[in-house]
Amino acid sequence: MLVACAHGTRNPTGRRLIAELALAARALRPGLTTTAAFVDVQPPTVVDVVAELSAAGRPAVVVPLLLSGGYHVHVDIAGAVAASPGTVAARPLGPDPRLVEVLHDRLVSAGADPGDPQTAVVVAAAGSSDTRAVADVENTADLLQRTWAGPVTTGYGSAALPAVPDAVAAARRAGAERVVVASYLLAPGHFHDKLAGAGADLLTAPLLPDGRIAAVLLDRYDAASEPASS
Give 211-229 as a DSSP string: HHHHHHHHHHHHHHHHHHH
Q: What architecture is domain 97-203?
A: 3-Layer(aba) Sandwich (3.40)
CATH code for the domain defined by 2-94+210-229: 3.40.50.1400
Angle in degrees, 0-180, between the axes of helices 131-145 and 97-109, rounded to the nearest 10:
60
CA–CA dist 212, 15 (Å, integer)? 19
Checking phi first, is residue 189 left (phi over 0); if not, alpha (psi -120 to 50) or beta?
left
Percent of the chain with pLDDT over 70: 98
pTM of the model: 0.93
Q: Domain ranges for the chain, please list them.
A: 2-94+210-229, 97-203
- 214-224 per-position pLDDT tens digit: 999 999 999 99
| pLDDT for the residue 163 | 98
| pLDDT for the residue 83 | 87
In the chain, the amino acid numbered 86 is G
- 140-196 per-position pLDDT tens digit: 999 999 999 999 999 999 999 999 999 999 999 999 999 999 999 999 999 999 999
Average predicted confidence (pLDDT) for the chain:
94
- 199-213 per-position pLDDT tens digit: 999 999 999 999 999
The DSSP line for 96-165 is -HHHHHHHHHHHHHTT--TT-TTEEEEEEE---S-HHHHHHHHHHHHHHHTT-SS-EEEEESSSSSSBHH
CA–CA dist 54, 86 (Å, integer)? 6
Domains 2-94+210-229 and 97-203 share a fold: yes
Q: Which of 90, 22, 84, 89 is nearest to 56 (CA)?
A: 84
| pLDDT for the residue 228 | 47
- 49-78 per-position pLDDT tens digit: 999 999 999 999 999 999 998 888 988 999
- 61-120 per-position pLDDT tens digit: 999 999 998 888 988 999 999 988 889 999 999 999 999 999 999 999 999 999 999 999
Phi (first) and psi of residue 160, to 5 degrees: -135, 160
